[in-house]
Amino acid sequence: MKRIGRIGALIGLAIILLVLTHQSAGAAFELKGQTECIAPSNPGGGWDAICRTTSAVLQKTGMIKAPMYVTNMPGGSGAVAIANVITKRKADTNLIVAASNALTFTMSMGRTPHTYRDVIPLAQVGAELGGFFVRADSKLKNLGDLVTALKADPKSVNFAGGSAPGSLDHIKAALLAKAIGVDPTKVVYVPFQGGGEALTSLLGGHTNVATLDLSEAAGQLEAGKIRALAILSEKRSTKFKDIPTTYEGGVKASLPVWRGLYLAPGVPKEAVDFWSDTIRKMVAKPEWNAEREKLGWEPTYKFGDDFVKFVNDDYTTMRDLLKELGFLK
């Protein structure tokens, strides 16, 4: 009888353990309170577009119940934001942060001591093309005119961009210069805290050319206030099909721009899985794709380990590029 009793007790214990294990495995992570997306720039830039589009779609589709607000945190082309996240927002499960190649350049130039290994890369939510834009009344009518002006005197043209010197928008102009045989370090670049400010400078006649991404230029482009000389790509945009590429203009230079998100360090795995699953489902929603198409983003996505490898490889690639262009020793 004692033997039977011990067996019964063991069976009972096994059942309890199975139930507890099942409950633990099935326990879903739930957001509590308000959520936040940090855009490391002023309103109007690419990072701002990532946050505002993500916030709008997640709330509109009911994918998150709590409100998500957008915090603009400009400074150092992403350096201020990532420092804030790492030092003050560790393990914050309610926070996502916008990222792109611009942050990679900030890391590569050593403007922040942090790299993607200090945060949790979450997902790539799209890709877009950037290029060279002028006011509608500019004397620069096409890419050929810009090339001619730069070859005659690199200082005759000043470029406005929404990131720090040696960062993404500056590199667009530097790549153009190198491809046409002009010293990239001779390019005159005027930095602003986001694409919106760079666009304002162009419209105000304070700068000649703006090195914007298509999503930043779209509104004024469609309104006829600015013109595109070319986009830095081998292939044309799927939305702005009438804009020629640098390759079509005989300039072999391209620089695709990825758009993504990262999480604060210390976020537990169940929260990482929640956000990864949520963003994966979000980019499949028609509401997301409608907004993506308006922005002119290409449907290019990466998640999990694929995205982690991608951003770390991007860091290595951009450091090599900066050295090649003479911006990094």
CATH code, 139: 3.40.190.10
CATH of the domain at 64: 3.40.190.150
| 209 and 135 within one domain | yes
pTM value is 0.79
Same domain (yes/no): 206, 167: yes
Contacts of 49 (CB under 8 A, 6+ apart): 215, 216, 259, 295
Indicate whether 298 belongs to any domain: yes
Say which residue the tokens 């290029």 belong to: 131
Please indicate, yes or no, if residue 26 is contained in any of the structural domains.
Answer: no
First to last CA, the chain: 81
Q: 118 with 186, same domain? A: no
CA 133 to chain centre: 20
**pLDDT score at 120:** 98
pLDDT of residue 14: 47
pLDDT at 296: 85
- In a 3-state reduction of DSSP, which class is residue 227? strand
Are 227 and 320 in a shared domain? no
Q: Which residues of the chain have pLDDT under 70?
A: 1-27
Q: Same domain, yes or no, for 216 and 157?
A: yes
Instruction: Check if the beta carbon of residue 123 is closer than 8 Å to that of residue 303.
Output: yes
Specify the pLDDT at position 164. Answer: 83
Tokens of 245: 């590429």
> Which residues, in sequence order, are CB contacts of 275 under 8 Å at separation 6+?
96, 122, 263
Find the domain containing 195 and state its range: 130-231
pLDDT of residue 5: 52
Last residue in a domain, options 231, 266, 299: 231
Q: For residues 139 and 204, state if they share a domain.
A: yes
> What is the Cα–Cα distance from 218 to 237, expressed in whole angstroms?
12
Q: Is residue 237 part of a domain?
A: no
User: Are both 118 and 135 inside the same structural domain?
Assistant: no
Kindly state whether residue 14 falls inside one of the protein's structural domains. no
- Same domain membership, residue 149 and residue 219: yes
Final residue before a domain boundary, out of 197, 231, 265? 231
Asked if 214 and 135 sit in the same domain, the reply is yes
| Among candidate residues 146, 142, 143, the one with its CA nearest the CA of residue 158 | 146
Specify whether the backbone of 76 is left (phi greater than 0), alpha (psi in -120 to 50) or beta. Answer: left
DSSP 88-144: H-TT-TTEEEEEEHHHHHHHHTTSSS--GGGSEEEEEEEEE-EEEEEETT-S--SHH
Same domain for 134 and 121, yes or no, is no
Q: What is the DSSP string of 236-253?
A: --SS-TTSPBTTTTT---
Where a domain ends, among 231, 247, 270?
A: 231
Whether residue 96 is found in the same domain as residue 163: no
| 3-class DSSP state of 326 | coil
Q: How far apart are CA 263 and CA 116, in angstroms?
A: 10
In the chain, the number of structural domains is: 2
- Are residues 144 and 123 located together in one domain of the fold? no
Q: Is residue 95 part of a domain?
A: yes
What pLDDT is stored for residue 21 in this prediction? 43
| Structural domain includes residue 27 | no
**Is 251 domain-assigned?**
no
Residue 6: what pLDDT?
56
Cα–chain center distance at 82: 13
3-state SS assignment for residue 284: coil
Any domain includes 45: yes
